[in-house]
Structure formats: structure tokens, C-alpha cells
């Protein structure tokens, strides 16, 4: 098991360039299945989830060629509609996008044991509703649309990133017009729309609806949007340690809800010339309620809670995944004092202490890392592979900011 060893208590200072967004890159990779022509994706992050997605495509017959460190050309002409390798599919949540992409290209897809972080139940009923509304039917664990998909009105009863992505993939390849009501509008969904348009799809956003005209799709090109969650995590690391971190490579606008809450609590936010800087301290407790974009992102909830503990505390209500609080018990080992009531956690100002803790999901793991960076002394975070799934070059980037951090790989002994 990989682990991070952190000697915390040092203020982090400096600038970090964030990579492409994990949650944007993965839909783009799976969208390449929709066409027989080669596609090019730029600004891909060097993270495990990207590697696994490319391994899935390669195992199904695609050709993968890196043109430089962050640009990949994917050719899916020889890709076959076979069962995607279950052990790889079970490793990441975004493998659900295989359903939409394969139905769109081949009229056949598989319902598998889709993986990802298990911080909460993660149903796929909305994905299946979209597939069936567009004309697919299910027999056992196989979805069929032998005559191709046909446009329809999709009335989602809640906002889901994953279901919106799958609906966009299917609608772009379907005959006729699809309306996706109550569609997600996260920057990574917009990134997919740009890519699908480059492949020939006609997509219009009207308020919270998307109108999609399916078209024969050709090769496309797109650059992955900067990772707002990675950016937010580094900014929080500065705040957690009493330092000042500046990030480049992601948009301040994508972090508006997050940054305005922190500045409302007393932190100093500066956005200028493509740089975002966060410094100072929180002088009052903060109230957070996560919800779909443009509200406070659920993917920054655990990391922010860890930082609230090191400052004036706050109240955190999880409006997307009500059970996303599994990381709190590990933080308790590090001195966190909290009370939980349903989907709300009351975080009290706490003196964080170093400890050995285990990450059990990506963002919860990042929260433990921030706590370890702020607690004076040596902490060990087991289960670091969860964190590496979504943060590229994390040891190098934190080291640049002055952190004392090292990664111990499997079979390697810590010193
Ligand atoms: C994606 C992100 C994840 C992020 C989440 C919310 C990826 C790979 N993962 O996850 O990092 O935390 O968006 O921003 O991009 N729901 C249903 N039925 C469904 C689908 C979803 O009830 O068929 C519910 C979920 O349980 C949840 C809510 O809808 O309560 C939103 O989930 P969703 O936006 O779909 O999250 P993911 O796409 O899985």
C-alpha cells in the first residue's frame, strides 16, 4: 500500500500550476469512442484515472499515441464492442461513460460494476433512464440499440454530472433532436460540449436545458479545462498552514462560490492575470452547503472542512452526496472535534495533531493531507493511491511550496 509521510507545521508559500481537470479529461477520453476518426486531447493530467481510461480503450482495440507529455491522439477505428475489462472498469467511476459512448457508436453497451470512490451510494438509474428514453433496451447486463438511438426529451429529476455526460454522448450520435432538461453545467460538462461540437454535434444551452442535434461524428480536438478542484486544494493548503499559495492554470470564475465563502470568512483572495492567491486567516465560522455548479463544489467539501477545523470552525451541509463524511473519523484521530447530524457536520475549532490515518477516497484523502500539513510533527497517510488518482505530481508540487512530504511506494520501506 502506498503512503505519504508528511512533516507538517510549515507555512506553505509559492505558486503551483494545476493540470487538466480529472473530471473533464475522462469524459473526453471516452467520447473518442463515438467516431472512427482520430481525436486529439491536450492538457491531459498525469494521473492514474487517465492511465486507466486509456488502458480500457487500448484493451478494446484503440490506438493511443502521446504527442507530448500532456497531448494524446486516440484512434478508435479498430475498437470492438467487446466487454470492457471488468477489473479496469471497476477502478473508476467515469467508466460509466462507456455505456453512452458504446451505445452511440455500436448500439451495444454493458452494465458493469462501475467503480470510483465509494463515499456514498452512487446509483446509475438516471444513466439507464436516458439510454432507454433514447431507444435502448436492456437484456441482462447488456444494453442494445440495434437500430441506433433516437432523439427524445430527457427530463432529469435532479442534476447529475454523470447522467448529463452520458446523455450528451448518446444524443450527439442519435438521430434527431434530444432535449436534456435539468442538465449539469459544471466546467467539465461545458468542456465536453466544446469537444462534441468539434466532432460535428450541434449543441445549444438554453437555461438549464441542452438541445442536441445528433450528427455523423468525425474526429475532434480539445484542450482539457484546468482543474478547479486541484487548484482549490492547493489554495486551501496555504490557508491551512498559515501561508499563501498562488495557483495558475485554472479559472477563478470556476471557483467563485468557494472563494467568496472564504473571503466572506476573512481570508484574502486575489485574482489577477490568470493567477489566484489565497492568504490570511478565517476570522469567523463558515457555513457551507454543497450543490451542483455554480454552487460550492462537493469535491472541495472534505478539504475545506479540514481547514475550517484549523481556523474558526463552521457548519458543512452536503447537498450532493449526503453521506460524504467518511473522512471525519480519520480527522478525529488527528484531533478534530465535530458533531454530525444527517447530512450536516458541525466542525469545531480544533488543535490538529499528527497521526497515522488511512485515506479511503480521493477528496477525503486530500482532506487528511491538508490536516497533516497543518499539524506540527510527522503524520502518515496510508491509502495514498486514492489521492494519486486525482492529483498529478503531488509530492513535487507540495515540495515546491516548501512542504516536507514523501511518497513511499508499495514494498518500499519508509526511513
Ligand atoms: C461526478 C464526479 C464527482 C463529483 C460529482 C458531483 C466524475 C468522474 N465524478 O460524479 O467527482 O463529486 O460529479 O459534482 O466526474 N444520482 C442518482 N442517480 C444517477 C446518478 C446520480 O441518483 O443515476 C445522484 C447521486 O447519487 C448524487 C447526485 O445524483 O446524489 C449527483 O451525482 P452525479 O453528479 O451524477 O455524480 P457523478 O457523476 O457520479
Q: Do 285 and 386 share a domain, yes or no?
A: yes
Q: Do 8 and 72 share a domain, yes or no?
A: no
Atom of ligand 1 nearest to the CA of 161: 34
Q: Compute the C-alpha angle 390/250/317, nearest 5°.
A: 65
Q: Do 351 and 377 share a domain, yes or no?
A: yes
Instruction: State in Å: Cα 96 to ligand 1 middle.
Output: 11
Q: Do 187 and 39 share a domain, yes or no?
A: yes
* Chosen domain end from 223, 241, 269: 223
Annotated active-site residue in 39, 117, 244, 250: 117
Residue 104 has φ and ψ, to the nearest 5°, of -65, -40
Q: CA separation (Å) from 62 to 115, 195, 196, 224, 286?
A: 22, 19, 19, 20, 48
DSSP states of 153-176: EEE-SS--HHHHHHHHHHHHHSBS
The DSSP H or E segment spanning 143 is strand 142-144
Q: Is 226 in the pocket of ligand 1 (CB under 6 A)?
A: no
Nearest CA to 78 out of 109, 35, 121 is that of 35
CB neighbour class for 183 (10 Å; exposed up to 12, middle 13-18, buried from 19): buried
Atom of ligand 1 nearest to the CA of 298: 12
Of the CA atoms within 13 Å of residue 346, those in its CB half-sphere come to 3
Atom of ligand 1 nearest to the CA of 186: 14
* Chosen domain end from 179, 208, 223: 223
Atom of ligand 1 nearest to the CA of 299: 12
The residue whose CA is least distant from atom 3 of ligand 1 is 299
Q: Do 232 and 363 share a domain, yes or no?
A: yes
Q: Is 111 in the pocket of ligand 1 (CB under 6 A)?
A: no
Which are the contacts of 409, defined by CB distance < 8 A and separation ≥ 6? 2
pLDDT at 124: 94
Instruction: State in Å: Cα 166 to ligand 1 middle.
Output: 12
State which of 132, 161, 318 you would mutate to test the pocket of ligand 1, scoring each by most atoms of that ligand within 8 A of its C-beta. Answer: 161
Which are the contacts of 236, defined by CB distance < 8 A and separation ≥ 6? 278, 300, 303, 304, 306, 307, 370
Q: Do 145 and 283 share a domain, yes or no?
A: no
The residue whose CA is least distant from atom 4 of ligand 1 is 299
Q: Do 91 and 189 share a domain, yes or no?
A: yes
117 assigned to active site: yes
Under 8 Å between Cβ of 56 and 88:
yes
Please report, for the domain that includes residue 53, its CATH number: 3.65.10.10
Q: Do 214 and 332 share a domain, yes or no?
A: no
The residue whose CA is least distant from atom 7 of ligand 1 is 23
Instruction: State in Å: Cα 122 to ligand 1 middle.
Output: 7
* Domain assignment present for 246: yes
- Total domains present in the chain: 2
Under 8 Å between Cβ of 116 and 122:
yes
- pTM value > 0.85: yes
Q: Do 41 and 119 share a domain, yes or no?
A: yes
> Which structural domain, as residue segments, surrounds residue 331?
3-18+227-408
Under 8 Å between Cβ of 135 and 112:
no
Please list the pLDDT of the chain residue by residue as tens digits (415 residues): 899 999 999 999 999 999 999 999 999 999 999 999 999 999 999 999 999 999 999 999 999 999 999 999 999 999 999 999 999 999 999 999 999 999 999 999 999 988 777 777 789 999 999 999 999 999 999 999 999 999 999 999 999 999 999 999 999 999 999 999 999 999 999 999 999 999 999 999 999 999 999 999 999 999 999 999 999 999 999 999 999 999 999 999 999 999 999 999 999 999 999 999 999 999 999 999 999 999 999 999 999 999 999 899 999 999 999 999 999 999 999 999 999 999 999 999 999 999 999 999 999 999 999 999 999 999 999 999 999 989 999 999 999 999 999 999 876 544 3
State which of 162, 169, 295 you would mutate to test the pocket of ligand 1, scoring each by most atoms of that ligand within 8 A of its C-beta. Answer: 162
Amino acid at each position: 500500500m502506498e503512503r505519504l509521510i508528511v512533516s507538517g507545521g510549515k507555512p506553505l508559500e509559492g505558486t503551483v500550476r494545476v493540470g487538466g481537470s480529472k473530471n473533464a479529461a475522462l469524459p473526453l477520453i471516452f467520447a473518442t469512442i463515438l467516431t472512427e476518426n482520430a481525436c486529439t486531447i491536450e492538457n491531459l493530467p498525469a494521473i492514474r484515472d487517465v492511465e486507466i481510461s486509456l488502458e480500457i480503450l487500448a484493451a478494446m482495440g484503440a490506438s493511443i499515441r502521446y504527442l507530448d507529455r500532456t497531448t494524446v491522439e486516440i484512434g478508435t477505428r479498430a475498437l470492438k464492442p467487446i466487454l470492457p475489462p471488468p477489473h479496469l472498469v471497476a477502478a473508476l467511476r467515469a467508466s460509466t461513460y462507456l455505456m453512452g459512448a458504446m451505445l452511440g457508436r455500436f448500439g451495444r453497451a454493458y452494465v458493469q460494476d462501475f467503480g470510483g470512490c465509494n463515499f456514498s451510494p452512487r446509483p446509475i438509474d438516471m444513466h439507464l433512464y436516458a439510454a432507454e428514453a433514447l431507444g435502448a433496451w436492456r437484456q441482462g447486463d447488456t444494453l442494445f440499440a440495434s437500430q441506433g438511438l433516437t432523439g427524445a426529451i430527457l427530463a432529469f429529476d435532479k442534476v447529475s454530472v454523470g447522467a448529463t455526460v452520458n446523455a450528451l454522448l448518446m444524443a450527439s450520435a442519435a438521430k434527431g433532436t434530444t432535449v436534456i432538461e435539468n442538465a449539469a453545467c459544471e466546467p467539465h460538462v461545458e468542456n465536453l460540449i466544446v469537444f462534441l461540437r468539434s466532432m460535428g454535434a450541434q449543441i445549444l444551452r438554453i437555461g438549464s436545458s441542452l438541445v442536441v442535434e445528433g450528427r455523423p461524428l468525425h474526429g475532434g480536438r480539445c484542450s482539457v479545462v484546468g482543474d478547479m478542484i486541484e487548484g482549490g486544494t492547493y489554495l486551501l493548503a496555504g490557508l491551512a498552514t498559515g501561508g499563501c499559495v498562488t495557483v495558475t492554470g485554472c479559472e477563478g470564475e470556476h471557483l467563485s462560490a468557494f472563494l467568496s465563502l472564504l473571503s466572506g470568512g476573512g481570508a484574502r483572495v486575489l485574482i489577477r492575470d490568470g493567477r489566484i492567491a489565497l492568504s490570511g486567516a478565517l476570522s469567523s465560522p463558515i457555513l457551507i452547503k454543497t450543490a451542483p455548479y455554480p454552487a460550492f463544489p462537493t469535491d472541495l467539501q472534505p478539504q475545506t472542512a479540514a481547514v475550517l477545523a484549523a481556523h474558526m470552525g463552521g457548519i458543512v451541509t452536503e447537498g450532493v452526496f449526503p453521506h460524504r463524511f467518511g473522512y471525519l473519523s480519520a480527522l478525529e484521530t488527528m484531533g478534530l472535534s465535530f458533531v454530525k447530524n444527517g447530512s450536516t457536520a458541525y466542525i469545531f475549532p480544533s488543535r490538529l495533531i499528527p497521526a497515522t490515518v488511512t485515506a479511503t477516497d480521493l477528496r477525503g484523502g486530500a482532506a487528511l493531507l491538508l490536516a497533516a500539513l497543518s499539524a506540527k510533527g510527522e503524520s502518515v497517510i496510508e491509502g495514498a493511491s486514492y489521492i494519486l488518482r486525482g492529483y498529478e505530481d503531488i509530492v513535487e508540487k507540495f515540495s515546491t511550496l516548501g512542504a516536507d512530504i514523501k511518497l513511499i511506494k508499495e514494498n518500499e520501506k519508509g526511513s
